[in-house]
Amino acid sequence: MKFFLDTANIEDVKELIETGLVDGITTNPSLIAASGRDFKKVIAEMCELVPGPVSAEVAALDHVTMLKEGRHLAEIAPNVTVKVPLTLDGLKTCRVLADEGIMVNVTLCFSSGQALLAAKAGAAFISPFVGRLDDIGHDGMQLIQEICLMYANYPELETEVLAASIRHPLHVIQAAEAGAHVATIPPKVIYQLLKHPLTDNGLATFVKDWEKTGQKII
Ligand code: G3P
């Protein structure tokens, strides 16, 4: 499963890029607003740092303007993935951009029916929002399972399931178990995945016992 970072904070990316874990980035208008920075500058910097897909979301709601914005965003760098909402106008825009060879990430997906429409519109990625479904008492991960099952019936389909709205490490593990192609993960959750008290305790013991040997490796 590919790991994308769900952030517009360039420092988060710089910190984690050395781990080799960062296969791409997703941003959205809320993350950009939280960064307090110029949208197109953030995307350009992200595309420089990460060779994989970097999602940049349109702001318009109508197809004509979405298309203009999407083409403009795609000019920033070859690895820009234009993000459009799962609306009729978003699907129309997805179709045109995909036919022009531009990667599209269809976002704000909350049902397998919507995911089917996005695939037929030529989406490179579909972003089902797991956490936001959980937040209202639904089973967000079940949606990932449903979509993966549905898409698996059509091996020729190129749309990748990008599990989004990830809230904690279990979402990442369950997305992988369900067969999602990608999980877009807040940096905080990456660090939570990494941490285990038994690892910390075991390492402390190894250090203490090694010091007792009085030896050096180099
Ligand atoms: O960026 C898309 C998605 O990951 C947003 O998640 O946490 O705002 O529900 P969240």
Distance (Å, rounded) from C-alpha 97 to C-alpha 64? 12
Tell me, what DSSP letter sits at residue 159?
Answer: P
**Can 83 be counted among the known catalytic residues?**
yes
Pocket test for ligand 1, best of 3, 6, 109 (most atoms within 8 A of CB): 6
Ligand 1 pocket, residue 26 CB under 6 Å: yes
| Exposure class string for 1-31: b at 16+ Cβ within 10 A, else e | bbbbbbbbbbebbeebeeeeebbbbbbbeeb
Pocket test for ligand 1, best of 4, 27, 83, 184 (most atoms within 8 A of CB): 184
Give the dihedral of Cα atoms 26, 104, 88, 107; nearest 10 deg.
Answer: -20
Q: pLDDT of 125-171, one tens digit each? A: 999 999 999 999 999 999 999 999 999 999 999 999 999 999 999 99
Distance (Å, rounded) from C-alpha 145 to C-alpha 140? 9
Distance (Å, rounded) from C-alpha 69 to C-alpha 71? 6
Q: Which of 129, 130, 109, 134 is nearest to 119 (CA)?
A: 109
Ligand 1 atom with least separation from CA of 26: 1
Please count the helices (runs of H) and the strands (runs of E) in the chain. Answer: 11, 8
Q: What is the pLDDT of residue 189?
A: 98
Q: pLDDT of 171-183, one tens digit each? A: 999 999 999 999 9
Please say whether the beta carbons of 36 and 194 come within 8 A. Answer: no
CA 96 / ligand 1 centre spacing (Å) = 25
**pTM confidence score:** 0.95
Superfamily classification of domain 2-213:
Aldolase class I (3.20.20.70)
Give the three-class secondary structure for 56. Answer: strand
Q: Could you tell me the pLDDT band of residue 73, with boundaries at 50, 70 and 90?
A: very high
Q: What is the pLDDT of residue 175?
A: 98
Ligand 1 pocket, residue 55 CB under 6 Å: no
